[in-house]
Structure 1
Amino acid sequence: MPGGYSHTDGTAIHAHRAAFKIFVISDTVAVCSSVVVLLCFLWAWQDPSKFQMGLFLFGHMLDIVACLAMLISFMAAVYVTIAPIVQWLAYFVIAIGVATPAFVFLVAGRPVFSPVEV
């Protein structure tokens, strides 16, 4: 947990902060969607002679959701732990995180976000 736990009652120290709540929600979305992506890819390839393109495409889209949620989770965790001490560094990390999807779009192009249907 970002910031650690309280030694008196065992709860998260930053549980009351909005950025911590964003961390918890985005982290949950990232982990759960990653698990579903893995299962979609495994099921799509379960029988190579009957490859299931629908599951593969759904997994691809959900993988993008997982990656974006992971970015949000990381930025929120950095903000919760760093902003009270070095605010400029927290904002710098957030700027890099926000720029990452745009960079991927510019470098890889549109096919990353909308796969070709077969």
Structure 2
Amino acid sequence: MSTRLAYQYVVLRCVPRPDREEFLNVGVVLHCQAADYLDVVCHVDAERLHALHSGIDVDQVREALSFVELVCRGDERAGEAARQSLGQRFGFLKAPRSTVLQPGPVHGGVTHDPARQLEHLRERLVG
């Protein structure tokens, strides 16, 4: 019987116009301490983003998501955040810091396979 592992995740939201409080889910970050796992999956639907705000810079959104990927991987191009432990990196990523790309609330669960769970969350929450 395989082990059930606790995990936490946040949905990354693109908020083109914070004054309207409209957003589109564009990614999910999942952290599983027991499996030493931290990863993100992203999907940017430019057409849907432009429907929320015709002037949005989609490349800027993609660049912000690329930074999240670098932090998850521990890539030195992400600076000090990438040099931290996985738990600290997740803490960094779940903290709001941008008006356009914002993390939602932290949720949790249990899984046998963090990578498969992340893909399931992407399909269910991002598209």
When normalised by structure 2's length, the TM-score is 0.29
Question: Between Structure 1 and Structure 2, which shows a larger proportion of strand residues?
Answer: 2
Q: Which has the larger radius of gyration?
A: 1
Greater relative contact order (CA < 8 Å, ≥ 6 in sequence): 2
When normalised by structure 1's length, the TM-score is 0.30
